[in-house]
Structure 1
Amino acid sequence: MGKQKKQKKYATMKRMISLKDQRIKEQDRAKTQKKKKEDPSVIKEQEVAKHPSCMFFQYNTQLGPPYYILVDTNFINFSIKAKLDVVQSMMDCLYAKCVPCITDCVMAELEKLGMKFRVALRIAKDPRFDRLPCSHKGTYADDCLVQRVTQHKCYIVATVDRDLKRRIRKIPGVPIMYISNHSSSNNSGKNHSSITLDVRSANSRRTTFSQNLELLSISVWDAVFLGLTPRP
């Protein structure tokens, strides 16, 4: 005879572990407890991020020749399309020695793209490029570049990605390098590309302005009265 099929019991509930059980950690017990209502009259304390010491007035003292430039994945691909030599074009832009730097995350992204981007991978392995090791988990290049730039203000970021540009503009004192197209002066109709450096962001101007007021011990209202406002 065959085995009888077991029928599922209707409206049965699984057994739950009690909160006093030893297998439950203290962190999980704290989550189940109700949060106390905050008193609106109590003044909240907030930690304000300090400005880095390298930001002296409107200049970043850590930036200087030779310039160390963090290169993004898209920047190498667009430089190939524009037929630009990365190192030579950077030196033509800044009129100084430039050292392109590639992190392990950017190299991993280029390797994942496959044979279609083998030329970009060959350029990234150029001996003129410095290789920067990554100690974090994952291989997402944008987060890696933003994290590295916030910790160390000695880099210029070379990228064409709009989202990455938007994130880096929020960090004061970090210039952005990108590829721009220019139309020729004669009527040939051809366009030529070049690498250009982005101007200081509004966030950089705002932080340097507030830092100048702190150094001069002037309040914001006195600065407005005297006409000392940050340039647009």
Structure 2
Amino acid sequence: VCQIASEPLNRPVSFFFFVRRIGQVTEIKSFMRKSVHKTSVWRHPHLVGYIEVGEIVQPIINRDDFVRTYGRTLLYEALLPVEAKLKTLLAAVNEERRENTFAQFEQTVQQALKAAASETSPFDVTFGEKKDEVRRVWWENGRLTINTSHPDFQARLRTSRLGNPRPSDRMNAYLAGVLSVYGTAELADVEERAAKQIDLMLTLEAELREMQKQ
């Protein structure tokens, strides 16, 4: 019996033999060798539940795996389609978590931009994905959208085991560089614009780094 929880519970699915716990699914080496998606499914923080094996298999003496039998083969073959179905369901959870993380990231960048400029932000910042878009950013509905599918963004993007974006110094430097260009674009004097751009870039990078610690 496996369920996908609405919040991460970090209670990995375990095998049980007549109500007695054998171990987490990811701890059973013989099954992990057969598993296709491995920890991305069975150690997902939103996946909870248990697998009662009954009489189809027997645990080994150490009770950390199952005896190699035809029953074990049948059990594992029966679990693989379930695993594939869980992978699809968890992909939707991962995408929702990813979108929520980017939404939080947007707020952080907006706050950092406002603090770095020492005044109201000259533009709104959002993250978007256009795989056929060669530009790093684009204007849309009065917002500066940062292209998350651009190779330069992807090269600096750190992610968790589940694919959620994570802040990093390289990403902070990239965002500071991009935003400083647009934050000073209206200045007519070239030398003044260059000086302001460098100042904004360094200040913005420092603000992002500081907010990353919070």
Q: What is the TM-score with the length of structure 1 in the denominator? A: 0.25
- Relative contact order (alpha carbons < 8 A, sep ≥ 6): 1 or 2 greater? 1
Structure that is richer in helix per residue: 2
